[in-house]
Amino acid sequence: MITTDTLTDYIRRAIPGAAVSVTDRTGTMDHFSIRVVSDLFKGRNLLDRHRLIYNALDQPMKDGRIHAVEIKAETTDGS
């Protein structure tokens, strides 16, 4: 279990200035759907974008606060 604010902080620490929206998928605050919008994703394919986000969330995923995430990673122009 983790708050959406804490989760957002983890992502922004790795991807400064990212717009992050978090949805609790199960009502248990440990299965999330996360959408991250940042121009730092430009020139990176989806695998690498998702790796950035997984790296940012490494700690809460390892200690079990986050059980599962569904990820969307886009740039500000929607690519």
Partner 1 sequence: MADRIMQEIEDEIKKHKILIYGKGTKAMPMCGFTRETMQFFDRFGYPYEIIDVLPNPAKREALTKMTNWPTLPKVFINGQFYGDTDVLEPMEKKGELEPLLKEAFKNG
What are the residues binding partner 1 (CB under 8 A)?
Answer: 46-47, 50-51, 54, 58, 61, 68-72
| Smallest distance from partner 1 to CB 3, Å | 21
CB of 46 to partner 1, least distance (A): 5
Sequence-ordered list of residues with C-beta below 8 angstroms from that of 10, at least 6 positions apart, any chain: 56, 57, 59, 60
For the chain, the 3-state helix, strand and coil shares in percent, each to the nearest 5, are 40, 25, 35
Q: How far is the CB of 54 from partner 1 (least distance, A)?
A: 5
**In this structure, what token pair is assigned to residue 32?**
């999330």
Closer to partner 1 by Cβ: residue 19 or 71 = 71
